[in-house]
Chain A
């Protein structure tokens, strides 16, 4: 590990190679389990490597080990991390500290939590430039320069601001500026656009791209989002269970994935479909849910204005919008969880009270809700069986055969009946969300409100959940599918309502909206969504709706 000289690579072949990782292995203490095993890769000057993998694949651990930073109870046992001329894994804490920010810098996933809330931006930016040879004026001059480069104001008033006074996109620009201020050779980015809406994401990605090119910096972009990586990266490396299973030029990996896992991963990604939709049949019967001129708010703040929407039996209507657009407020109003709304809301011809307390038991039974985060939506102290039977007893009554109710619900959610005795902590994220769905469908509802139910899940799991929803829909259930993911909408919905700042700006059959969007906002959404083509032989129908996606689950 202390060996600093390389035998096989002379200086001329190393030209342009900024990062060279050689056989790095990180273990967890005290279990000695390998979190990442024997990973080797290189990145050239001015290029970006996309590091792709699902949660738990070790991609974040690898990213942090590139800065020789280790989370508690982990340890680098083998391997070299060469950045420029230095092997970070072999240096002392103090030597590494001197290189951070100057040789290698980091852009965090969530700038909202990675910027110190108690410190002004000027302090946080200038301290990142810890070069003793620079005077205070030079430091501030450099800080202002890099702020201009990321298209932020560079005046004193801005430098005196605190992080909470910025928008999410501005915070991420500050984080980018903070990484580039020391002109590092390598920048590690850990899903830096996850919390941003697509338009902001597109701007941030453009900034990252131009900055790495202009500075000649090598970039490692960690992400679970294949579409973003395909858009941004020159090279792709795929992580699976702590190992690097595929590494190559992006175009080659996309057109000819070598590893089975890469294939599955690519096939699970929902791709934006702008054509080939079937026209939904014109419906003349009374819709199951009809919302007319609804407005809602919190106290004096208006969140929704003039909403008209209807959902028919067996139909999937998507509610698409960015965070803050009011989509969750609308779905909560439908479920009776949000009371401060006015306007018409008819369910099967009869009006729904604003509060779920004043709705009839049958109305409550027929509208069920699945929440965004399956890690928080299940009571950790109750078995799956109890979670499913609870609402059933409350809304339907004491079942003759509770076992049958549970088994049927689990079966509809594609889970084995043996799961009834498990606790939530014994389930994976995807299985938890299935239990949430089983709990919702146990009472045989007619309308299922799904609030961003796939956003906390990995893409392959997401594909399965979507497939499950399809089958429920085929059984005649209506879905109100709330999401910010336009690619997902283009694959699952019959009709889509696009929500922007509390108003529906476009509403119609998904084929029409995707192929010829009329509103400027819709057009921008479609344009800013990163997308890629799958061209390898046997590339599936998009979203893996075919038989092959069954295999994904075994992965």
Chain B
């Protein structure tokens, strides 16, 4: 199994490198001159030239890329154009906030979604199943920022007034509720549906029938015999959804004015702050790859054939 993980790690690194190429190319393709943007309209040609030289904008693209890549590998993400701070330092707090937001959402959404999915499978074609199936379909078909707006309208100051709708630096823990709820709702439906479908397949299997014929209680059948065999396929979907969080967080942070990487990214794009954009996009891609890697490992660990063969 270790070998398989190493192989997957290698491919993860390869993907990250490919992403870095794409990100760099995309930011190069942005219209406009970064130096002009930084210094404003009334900059003198001498100052523009000096800044271009400082930012290596005159070098060939390949050289710029290699210098950037070298910087990243040494932990130097460059300096933000707009506020002259090192990117790493500037991003530290937003990363912590965003990670907390994503972690909380995942922690809320995943277990509930798995439970609802498993229970729907057990109650197949009965009331609970129909209700959850309808519910997940409706929620899945609404964009996440609409869910956020609805949550604000219903639970925010304009509605029941239970929770604040805008994040404030000095606010209490209740201001986390709406962003976490929104993200959890956006993430959960596919997990519910996949868990239901996989569990139905597993519950129809002969080994589950055999467990019932051995006289096992439904609880034992569900959690000891069925669930371990459903984890592998479901873990993939959970991973995809959690990875989606890394990108989905952008719109939600904007909506709730939450000081995370999403908001930073929006500002950075507006300011054409290339090093910042590059760093944030690379970070999101990194999270994506990491979460998928974890899902692969869980999928492998859930399969005794792999687990035993490579001991």
Q: Which residues of A contact B (CB under 8 A)?
A: 64, 67, 69, 97-102, 105-106, 108-110, 113-119, 123, 127-128, 130, 162, 164-165, 178
Residues in B lying within 8 Å of A, measured CB to CB = 205-207, 209-217, 220, 224-225, 228-229, 302, 304-305, 308
Query: Which residue of B is nearest A93, CB measured?
Result: B218
The answer to whether A108 and B210 touch (CB under 8 A), given A97-B215, A98-B215, A165-B308, is yes
Residues of A within 8 A of B216 (CB): 97, 127, 130
Are B206 and A118 neighbours in the complex by a CB distance under 8 Å? no
Name the CB-closest residue of A to B220. Answer: A127
The A-B contact count (CB < 8 A) is 70
A110 touches B308 (CB 8 A): no
**A131 CB to nearest chain B CB (Å):** 10
Other-chain contact of A164, B206, B224, B304 (Cβ < 8 Å):
B304
Task: Evaluate contact between A118 and B212: CB separation under 8 angstroms.
Answer: no
Q: Which residues of chain A have C-beta atoms less than 8 A from B225's C-beta?
A: 116, 119
Could you pull out 25 A-B pairs where Cβ atoms are within 8 angstroms? A64-B213, A69-B213, A97-B215, A97-B216, A101-B214, A102-B215, A108-B209, A109-B206, A113-B206, A114-B206, A114-B207, A115-B210, A116-B207, A116-B225, A116-B229, A117-B304, A118-B228, A118-B229, A119-B225, A119-B228, A127-B220, A130-B214, A130-B216, A164-B305, A178-B214
Q: Which residues of A contact B209 (CB under 8 A)?
A: 69, 108, 114
B215 lies within 8 A of A100 (CB): yes
Which residues of chain B have C-beta atoms less than 8 A from A117's C-beta?
A: 207, 229, 304-305
- A178 / chain B contacts, CB cutoff of 8 Å: 214
A188: nearest residue on chain B (CB-CB)?
B213
A105 to B212, CA, bound (A): 11
With known contacts A110-B206, A118-B304, A164-B304, A128–B214 Cβ distance under 8 A:
yes
Q: Identify A101's interface contact among B205, B215, B220, B304, CB under 8 A.
A: B215
- When the two chains form their complex, are residues A118 and B308 in contact, meaning their CB atoms are under 8 A apart? no
Interchain CA distance A117-B207 in the complex, whole Å: 8
If A105-B213, A123-B224, A128-B214 are given as contacts, then 5 extra A-B residue pairs at C-beta distance below 8 Å, sorted by A number, are A97-B216, A106-B210, A118-B229, A119-B228, A162-B304
For residue B308, which residue of chain A has the nearest CB?
Answer: A162
Residues of B contacting A98 in the complex (Cβ-Cβ under 8 angstroms): 215
A116 to B207, CA, bound (A): 5
Q: How far is the CA of A164 from the CA of B220 in the complex (A)?
A: 22
Q: Tell me the minimal C-beta distance from B50 to chain A in angstroms.
A: 63
- When distances are taken between beta carbons in the complex, the residues of chain B under 8 Å from A164 are 304-305
* A130/B215 in contact, CB under 8 A: yes
Compute how far the CA of A362 lies from the CA of B211 in the bound complex, rounded to whole angstroms.
Answer: 55
**Chain A residues, Cβ within 8 Å of B206:** 108-110, 113-114
Residues of chain B lying within 8 A (CB to CB) of residue A127: 214, 216, 220, 224
Chain B nearest Cβ from A192, distance in angstroms: 12
